[in-house]
Structure 1
């Protein structure tokens, strides 16, 4: 397993994980295929602390706007802006900690599906 993740690899992981938040049937096997060479604890952290805070609202809306995929450049930009705001503000870090806990609970099924497909791909 890889121990460090490059900036490009992290962007690729985020892009793959964002597929779990589209309003369509999710291909968890395809997501796992793209991320399985990385440590699954890191993948889980990226899912809930970077991708879910940006993408979850698509699944929360009555008429989700994203059906097939997120815009890769916008996704990356939005995540980086969020992480920068988190780094600069104590209050933002505290609020995001609560949000991440809620996302881990609300979207637990996403991780369970990823983990299940990861185990079956071994």
Structure 2
């Protein structure tokens, strides 16, 4: 069943997707269960356009700072601030577009694993 998201549901989806970026075993089936009721294309968009730009650096560092989970409120605030900044700056939009292109290649496996469980 696919339906549109409320602001709270979007925050819940972001939170669920952030689990893919912790330095721990990822339960992709759990992420899929938490997001299955929404449009898969929208979930993929949220993953690569909203969550990954904020969370990816945790997986890129040799000693990740986030082992169990991100701070939910900080995650939401960071994503909202990024989206707001991008709206007001052509350069930030272009820079983020390049980042997202890279993220889609680098973390393609995350989406593949989540999608297996839909």
TM-score range, shorter chain: over 0.9
What TM-score, normalized to structure 2? 0.98
Answer yes or no: is 1:29 the counterpart of 2:29: yes
Count of residues in correspondence between the two structures: 118
Aligned partners of 1:45, 1:25: CA distance in 2, in Å? 23
Residue of structure 2 equivalent to 1:42: 42
Residue of structure 1 equivalent to 2:110: 110
Deviation at 1:4, TM superposition (A): 1.7
- Give a deviation string over 1:31-88, Cα, whole Å, max 9, x none: 0110000000000000000000000000000000001000000000000000000111
Residue of structure 1 equivalent to 2:99: 99
Aligned partners of 2:45, 2:33: CA distance in 1, in Å? 18
* RMSD, matched Cα: 0.6
Report the 3-state secondary structure (helix = DSSP H, G, I; strand = E; otherwise coil) of the residue aligned with 2:18. helix
Q: Which runs of 5+ in 2 are unaligned?
A: none
- Give a deviation string over 1:94-115, Cα, whole Å, max 9, x none: 0100000000000000000001
Q: Which runs of 5+ in 1 are unaligned?
A: none
Report the 3-state secondary structure (helix = DSSP H, G, I; strand = E; otherwise coil) of the residue aligned with 1:117. coil
Aligned partners of 1:15, 1:88: CA distance in 2, in Å? 25
Runs of 4+ in 1 over 3 A off after TM superposition: none
Aligned partners of 1:68, 1:82: CA distance in 2, in Å? 23
Deviation at 1:7, TM superposition (A): 0.4
Deviation at 1:2, TM superposition (A): 3.2
Does structure 1 conserve the Cα–Cα contact (< 8 Å) formed by 2:3 and 2:37?
A: no
Within-5 A mapping of 1:63-102: 63-102=63-102
Deviation at 1:117, TM superposition (A): 1.3
Residue of structure 2 equivalent to 1:11: 11
